[in-house]
Chain A
Amino acid sequence: MRISKWRADLLALLFLLPFVLIYVLYTIWPMIKGVEMTFYKWTLIKKMSYVGWDNYNKMFHDREVWEAIWHSTLFVILTTPTMVVLAIVLALIANRKSRLRKLYRTVFFIPSVLSVAVASFLGLFIFQPYMGFVNTFLHLIRILPENSEIFWLTEVGLSWIAVSAITLWWTVGFNFILYLSAMQEIPDEIVEAARLDGANNWNVFWNVTLPHLSPITKTITMLQIIASFKVFLQIYIITGGGPLDKTRPIIQLIYQTGFRENDLGYAATMSYVVFVILLVLSAIQYWLNNRKEARA
């Protein structure tokens, strides 16, 4: 008995081995090397010199870094709640018994198949002044006077709105599908029972649907926070981080430091600090969830 279990483990290990080897070689090992990098001045070509904690020291006093971290955080704050609400609303619409049901599902999900570059360039076209869709539309419905333009892409506040809107449009499809499947898992009997007790639509949504969506909401929130914190390409393409670096997220700063300013050591240091921030966020989230579940 014992022996056969041991053999089964060995067999499992054997099957896992190819993956484990590659995973260690291409993920774990580079992560360890990455930590080493943070203690060196390291260019794109080679290791230059050992600098101790200099990179960390520099980072904690570097205003650009903290501003960039704040921008990423701001993006999380802007997109996470809106994403959750929008995804639920879209799922509710698509979950209604309607002849357009299939159309809704397709339309809501389609943007997700685009690559980030396509979504961002569409965003650029939509929000650009003079011939962009948004301004033209606002002119058409006479909200915007004929001779004025809204510069969505070059004003700090407006460009946050533009970037967030594009991101929501582009990524909501995936979360929408998650919510839709969660809604379809809610047993009809419960809804029927509620209706018999005299519940209206609002009561059903608030007391039946929403509580059932709670586990998936936690997952989506966590995934969204991490995804939003890692924002880079949309912003890079749409605003380039400007004006005055006021929309530059931390990942863009890491990219610029590493690959444009040729300072991989410092870029690695920033990356690890971001990694720790995300780790702490995940841990807090995990801890909160477990505590709630334990209490319930």
Chain B
Amino acid sequence: MRKNIGLTLATLMSASLVLSACGGNNGGGNASPEPADSSSPSAEASSSAPASDSGSGKQVSLSFWTLFSGGDGDNMQAMIDEFNKTHPDIQVKNTKLEWGEYYTKLITAVGNGNGPDVGISHTSRLPDLINQGVVSELDDVAEGAGVDWGTYNSNLLNATVVDGKHYAAPLDTHPFIMFYNKKLLSDAGLLGEDGKPVMEQSADGFVAFLDALKQKLPEKVTPFALSNSNDDPFRLWWALYHQLGASDVISDDLGSAAVDADKGAKAADYIQKLYTNGYIKKNDPDFYKNFQSGTAAIMMTGVWATGTWEATKDFEFGAMPIPQIFDQPATWGDSHTVILPVTKKEDPDKRKAAMIFADWLASNGQIWAKAGHIPSKPSVLENADYKAMPYRSDYASVADTVKFSKPSTKNWQIRDNALFKYLNEVWAAKMTPADAMTKIQAEVEKILKE
């Protein structure tokens, strides 16, 4: 008896150790400030060096902070290793940070003058970082490093330009797309010869498609796997809201709330009915798992899930842009971009090396695309390695129809504290879409005025 208790105790305690280790972040432990070595004494020597400083014998070392974990983290490390191998004069050191704490750490570190030479930012976070003086302008250094902005997808690039200045090099876009289970769709007779769903792309067409899935598949199967709160249903709403022709929830001058109440309510109402009519499982505790274990016919989330589904054994799935339900194609999306944080002494050598590195990452997006992201340079889409990967080309076109948020410094507060909050109530059928729009308008106004 006693032995068993001891065993249980030991198990519980070790479980608690493991779990608390997951919760608490590490990775940041070695996020020490870049030692100001090697480069500083020879600073003046470099100004006379030729434009391509390869073979000058002097090595620039860059500290790079990333927020990627899992497959993304491995792919990024692979790219860094490749870059270091092909660029003997530049050595990049990767520091992986916990993504939940990444921005807080970046902002405080840069504020203390201990920030990295290169970092990652989501496009949606960029205005806030610029406003806080964390991110530096890139135009001069990009010219020196020979970066051609014209090689980037203009939709992605434009979202990183603020007041006519470049602040980041886009690495990818990760839009909201649709996945489907081929086996279940074919059981329901809804999979075409071409391996794509048989569905009319319209408001009624999509509902009819879901209804057919519901009728023809066993009761245990969820027609449409989607979470019941926060990110993913919000992304669907954002997509439909923009398909109706609306544009963000703030005015063009970024100063006031501008919810298009009719379009917002129409989009919210459409999604609410998907919940109340039972196409989406109510309060699904884990909609990824639901789809992954083959008990859901379709699901929608970001492209990053592609890599996860591919790694799932015996799982036949397809990927496609989300259906065009209303007037024009549009979807939610964000981008990972490479930024050059403000540093204490703006070492021109380091900045140039950092810019070369950033542009190289974008040009070699075929490695990065393994996780599912769409590369930011159209030329990468023609790369043989990229083309050889399945699924990606089925949704690469979405890059042009991603609707980014306007460059407000309050983007994510608006998302978390206004949109998530009231839309969640609509999904739970506790608030009418029209009421939610009124409340969102007021809340966004309040956030912008703070």
State the A residues within 8 Å of B (CB): 43-46, 102-103, 106, 110, 113-115, 117-118, 121, 128-132, 149, 151, 153-154, 242-245, 259-262
Contact flags (1/0) for B261-295 with A, using CB distance below 8 Å? 00000000000000000000011110000000000
Are A103 and B12 in contact, with the CB atoms below 8 A?
no
Are B107 and A117 in contact, with the CB atoms below 8 A?
no
> Taking CB as reference atom, which chain B residue is nearest A266?
B450
Q: Which of A106, A121, A243 contacts B425 (CB 8 A)?
A: A243
> Taking CB as reference atom, which chain A residue is nearest B425?
A244
A-B contacts, 19 listed (Cβ < 8 Å): A44-B107, A45-B108, A45-B110, A46-B111, A110-B8, A110-B9, A110-B12, A113-B12, A115-B20, A117-B22, A118-B15, A118-B20, A149-B283, A154-B229, A154-B283, A242-B229, A243-B425, A244-B421, A244-B424
Are A118 and B108 in contact, with the CB atoms below 8 A?
no
List of B residues within 8 angstroms of A115 by Cβ? 16, 19-20, 23
Q: Which of B16, B285, B422 contacts A131 (CB 8 A)?
A: B285
Which residues of chain B from 410 to 435 have a CB within 8 Å of any chain A CB? Answer: 413, 416, 421-422, 424-425, 428, 430
B228 at the binding interface (Cβ < 8 Å): yes
List of A residues within 8 angstroms of B107 by Cβ? 44-45, 262
List of A residues within 8 angstroms of B8 by Cβ? 110
Q: Assuming A103-B5, A118-B16, what are 16 further A-B pairs, CB within 8 angstroms? A: A44-B108, A45-B108, A106-B5, A106-B9, A114-B16, A115-B20, A117-B19, A118-B12, A118-B15, A131-B285, A154-B228, A154-B283, A244-B424, A244-B425, A260-B416, A261-B413
> Taking CB as reference atom, which chain B residue is nearest A102?
B2
Are B1 and A103 in contact, with the CB atoms below 8 A?
yes
A43–B110 Cα distance when bound, in Å, is 13
User: How near does chain B come to A232, taking the closest CB pair, in angstroms?
Assistant: 13
Most buried by A among B8, B9, B16, B413: B16
Are A243 and B9 in contact, with the CB atoms below 8 A?
no
Count the A-B residue pairs with Cβ separation under 8 angstroms: how many? Answer: 76
State the B residues within 8 Å of A (CB): 1-2, 5, 8-9, 12-13, 15-16, 19-20, 22-23, 104, 107-108, 110-112, 132, 228-229, 282-285, 413, 416, 421-422, 424-425, 428, 430
List of A residues within 8 angstroms of B19 by Cβ? 115, 117-118, 121
User: How near does chain B come to A97, taking the closest CB pair, in angstroms?
Assistant: 18
Are B111 and A45 in contact, with the CB atoms below 8 A?
yes
Q: Is the interface of A mostly helix, strand, loop or mixed?
A: loop
List of A residues within 8 angstroms of B111 by Cβ? 44-46
A113-B12, A118-B15 as given contacts; A45 in contact with B425, CB under 8 Å:
no
Are A45 and B132 in contact, with the CB atoms below 8 A?
yes
Are A243 and B282 in contact, with the CB atoms below 8 A?
no
A113–B8 Cα distance when bound, in Å, is 12
> Taking CB as reference atom, which chain A residue is nearest B15?
A118
List of B residues within 8 angstroms of A130 by Cβ? 284-285
> Taking CB as reference atom, which chain B residue is nearest A116?
B20
A113–B10 Cα distance when bound, in Å, is 10
A103–B3 Cα distance when bound, in Å, is 11
List of A residues within 8 angstroms of B13 by Cβ? 113
> Taking CB as reference atom, which chain A residue is nearest B290?
A130
Are A113 and B9 in contact, with the CB atoms below 8 A?
yes
A243–B9 Cα distance when bound, in Å, is 35
A207–B15 Cα distance when bound, in Å, is 44
User: How near does chain B come to A197, taking the closest CB pair, in angstroms?
Assistant: 39
List of A residues within 8 angstroms of B229 by Cβ? 154, 242-243
